[in-house]
Amino acid sequence: MDCQRIREQLGAYLDDEVPQDARREVETHLNACPECTGELDVLGRIAEGLAPQEPIAVPDALWSAIEQRLDGDTQQETQRAPLTAKFHIFRKPMTAAASVLFAVGIGLVAIALLHETTPTASASTVDFSVLLDALPLDAQKALRKFLTLYDAKEIQPYTAHSHAPDLDFEIPETLPGGFRREAVYALRFGGGPGITAEYYRDDGEFLAALFHPPVQQEDFGTHKDRPCVIGQHRGHTVEVGPWRLVHLTDPTTCHCVLSRLDLEHEVPSVMAAVAPRTTPLDDHGHGGADHG
């Protein structure tokens, strides 16, 4: 066996992980090759230097993060033994490469889990195209696609403001026109929270109210976003067949209503119910709500 092939096996040899026949061949070569013997000696010293002499203490927050990940979002019928606050690593001799990879891996796991819940930068764009493109086929399925895109989770209506404390909105149980609230969802737009409420009328008519932080851009795909006046407010609307996505934006919140309601006579009262504190137009045609 040549030196290159032997050196490729030194790590496994050091960890006692080569078959017996191969081990004998390696040892035979080492007995006759001082260069490979020196390589093995260097690897052994490095591995011993990296070996922890004392138990490694792991931050308590790491175990909490691991425990939450294992538990998931549902309660398990069987109880898991509690995790200890200390992590003891007992090791046999390791190659230098294996030791370094192990140490780096532990570090990356700790960083990922400890910082998993840290908010990332808010999304600079909200992609409505996935919703608008599917509207003509099935509005409810189109909304589901949008909710899935932004990791929506159904929540209790009374918790909506705690999920999005920086947004200014209302999701009343009923809306003008006979709409009754059916479901409420919490969404994530990058690091920013969002809320969506589904409403239905007795005749099956569907309406959705969506709220998200103001962003640099709302992506409507090939659909045109046009300025409009909604009651006393200056806003924007995107029309897809009989459907309209109407939106008003103030300094804290973009209020969007998806419906087939008449823009002039029906939408203003609905928008006033979900965005009651949006500043109306003044006598000169200026107002606090405008789409960026």
pLDDT, residue 102, reads 46
pLDDT, residue 117, reads 41
pLDDT beyond 90 at 269: yes
For the whole model, what pTM was predicted? 0.56
| Per-residue burial over 247-256, b = 16 or more CB atoms within 10 Å of its CB, e = otherwise | bbbbeebbbb
Structural class in CATH, domain 125-274? alpha beta
pLDDT digit string (tens) for 58-77? 665 565 666 666 555 444 44
pLDDT beyond 90 at 180: yes
Beta bridge partner(s), residue 187: 194
Average pLDDT over residues 19-25: 86
pLDDT beyond 80 at 40: yes
pLDDT beyond 80 at 56: no
Confidence of residue 114 (pLDDT cuts 50, 70, 90): very low
Query: Contact at 8 Å (CB) between 143 and 240?
Result: no
pLDDT, residue 88, reads 39
- DSSP string across 22-35: HHHHHHHHHHH-HH
CA distances 124 to 120, 207, 214, 218, 219, Å, are 12, 26, 9, 8, 10
pLDDT digit string (tens) for 200-209? 999 999 999 9
| Mean of all residue pLDDT scores within the chain | 78
What is the rounded (10 degree) CA torsion for 121, 125, 130, 131? 100
pLDDT beyond 60 at 99: no
Average pLDDT over residues 197-202: 97
Q: What is the DSSP letter of 190?
A: B
Helices (H), the chain: 3-14, 20-32, 34-50, 60-71, 96-114, 129-134, 139-149, 160-163, 267-274
Is pLDDT larger for residue 10 or for residue 202? 202
Average pLDDT over residues 86-105: 44
| Per-residue burial over 195-216, b = 16 or more CB atoms within 10 Å of its CB, e = otherwise | bbbbbbeeeeebbbbbbbbbbe
Token code pair at residue 167? 């947004």
Of the chain, the percentage scoring pLDDT greater than 90 comes to 45
In the chain, residues under CATH classification 3.40.1000 are: 125-274
